[in-house]
Amino acid sequence: MSASVKIDGISKTYKKGTPVLLPLNLEINAGELFFLLGPSGCGKSTLLRIIAGLLEPSEGRIFFDGRDITALPPEQRHAAMVFQNYALWPHLSVFENVAFGLRAVKLPEKEIKAKVTEALQLVRMADFADRRVPSLSGGQQQRVALARAVAVSPQVLLLDEPLSNLDAKLRDEMRMEISRICHERKLTAIYVTHDRREALSMGDRIALLDKGVIQQLGSPVELYRKPRNRFAAGFLGGVNFISCTIENRNGADWAKTGFGEFRMENGTGGKKSGTVLIRPEAVTLAHERDTENVFTAEFVSGTFLGERSELQFKTADGMMLDVTASAYEIFSPGKPCRLKIDPRDLILLED
């Protein structure tokens, strides 16, 4: 059965080093596909290895379903791990690789066969049971690694950058597969990645880490649409940061910027000035009839990328604004354009 995971004041300092995890609290629900997302070196793998029992924390405790497992060795935690490099045994067949953890706990042969077959069916590798690992593609090897982890019915599944070694097309395919398997089996899964697309497309929730601190915790949509600070905004997508002062008039909040006044619907927490985030795709061409939140800017340059284009505009106060649009040919350098920003797309940041 899948367990909930509670991380209570976990910190880590490697010998003679600076802390890589500051005391950190997190609660992960049973059956949740939970992401630890952040740049390289922020402490994600350290935290995952502490949860797995491969590394001792400096302080704090870990609970599975309310049970303190901090002192237990890895094999007694009922957690299974999937690694970036698959960690399969090349001299064993696919079947024997998946059976390995089951043999270790001395299950009867009949039960092993049933569980391995079921796990291989789950990852759509049943036809490969007799194959040797080196004859499989990277994607197939990752499926076998996943089957091996799932076969032991872990209380918690831990995944450390599992797709990093795959090419882009296989990665997309495996993202959907891992989501399907986790949700079908109602697995509690903790997934480490530096790839925002993986976290945004698969995660039930994401903890965004930087320098050993959780910068923000929430659903993919919350993190993308309502980032708290510049780091979260920039890590999850394209950004324009605009300085503004804020006025409240007739019950509405207005951000006064160097190139216009914009009504904003996301609240200001009583702040009188600050930085607003405007995502590149939140700026669109205004219709003739639009009057609110409209401004004029000069098209400077653009890159055509097929389904979308990345454009740069210069605002009246000389600021460069990044805009993502589906149109391209209608713009020519130096041409003034009427653009608009939806009031829901201006986000006042904390810093």
Residues that bind ligand ADP (CB under 6 A): 14, 17, 20, 38, 40-46
Residue with tokens 């740049």: 39
Beta strands 273-277 and 79-82 are: unpaired
CB of 40 to ligand ADP, least distance (A): 4
Whichever of 38 and 53 has its CB closer to ligand ADP, that residue is 38
Helix (H) or strand (E) holding 113: helix 109-122
In the complex with ligand ADP, which residue's Cβ is closer, 36 or 323?
36
Beta carbons within 8 Å of 75's beta carbon, 6+ residues apart: 104
Q: Give min distance, CB of 299 to ligand ADP, in A.
A: 39
CA gap 220, 207 in Å, rounded: 10
3-state helix, strand, coil in the chain (%, to 5): 30, 35, 35
Minimum CB–partner distance for residue 192 and ligand ADP (Å): 6
Nearer to ligand ADP, 47 or 98 (CB): 47
> In the complex with ligand ADP, which residue's Cβ is closer, 161 or 345?
161
- Residue 36 or 98: the one with the smaller Cβ distance to ligand ADP is 36
CB of 35 to ligand ADP, least distance (A): 12
Task: Rank residues 2 and 45 by Cβ distance to ligand ADP and give the closer one.
Answer: 45
**Is the Cβ of residue 160 or residue 345 nearer to ligand ADP in the bound state?**
160
Question: How many CB atoms are closer than 10 A to CB 42?
Answer: 22
Smallest separation, CB 297 to ligand ADP (Å): 38
Quick one: 40 or 291, whose CB is closer to ligand ADP?
40
| Residue 23 beta carbon to ligand ADP: minimum distance, rounded to whole angstroms | 16
Using the structure block, give the residue that is written with the tokens 């697995």.
Answer: 187
Buried (b) or exposed (e) across 184-223, using 16+ Cβ within 10 A?
ebebbbbbbbbebebbbebbbbbbbbbbbbbbbbbebeeb
Q: How many CA atoms lie within 13 A of 174 on its CB side?
A: 25
Of 38 and 101, the one with the shorter C-beta distance to ligand ADP is: 38
Q: Which residues pair with 340 in a beta bridge?
A: 284, 294
Token pair 């990345």: residue: 310
Tokens of 343: 């009031």
Q: Give every CB contact of residue 320 below 8 A, 6+ residues apart in sequence.
A: 300, 312, 313, 314
User: Cβ distance 161 to 193 under 8 Å?
Assistant: yes
Query: Please, what is the minimum distance in Å from the beta carbon of residue 9 to ligand ADP?
Result: 18
Shortest separation between residue 101's beta carbon and ligand ADP, angstroms? 24
Task: Report, in Å, the least distance between residue 231 CB and ligand ADP.
Answer: 14
Own/partner contacts of 299-306, CB < 8 Å, gap of 24 or more, are 299/331, 299/332, 299/333, 299/334, 299/335, 299/336, 299/337, 300/333, 301/333, 302/328, 302/331, 304/328
